[in-house]
């Protein structure tokens, strides 16, 4: 699936079982991966990185 720039998106698991999602973030994929490498990422740093590449984080 390709999500065009500027399109708000997300997913919902409507089953009782676990869900798996593979996301490739480009551009900035390496920066985002580095932020997530140590466990739960810092939301402020994630937002800063996203904004630098024109991505706009939206609260769930």
User: What is the C-alpha to C-alpha distance for residues 28 and 30, in angstroms, rounded to an integer?
Assistant: 6
pTM over 0.85: no
pLDDT at 4: 77
Number of domains the chain contains: 1
What's the CA dihedral at 22, 2, 53, 9 to 10 degrees?
Answer: -80
Asked if residue 39 is part of any domain, the answer here is yes
- Average pLDDT over the chain reads 83
Asked if residue 30 is part of any domain, the answer here is yes
Domain that holds residue 39: 23-60
Asked if residue 6 is part of any domain, the answer here is no
Task: Give residue-wise pLDDT tens across range 11-59.
Answer: 889 999 999 877 776 767 788 888 888 888 888 998 898 888 888 888 7
């Amino acid at each position: 699936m390709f999500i065009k720039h500027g399109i708000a998106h997300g997913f919902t698991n409507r089953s009782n079982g676990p869900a798996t999602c593979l996301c490739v973030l480009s551009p900035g994929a390496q920066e985002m991966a580095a932020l997530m490498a140590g466990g739960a990422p810092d939301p402020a740093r994630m937002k800063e990185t996203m904004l630098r590449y024109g991505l706009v984080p939206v609260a769930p």
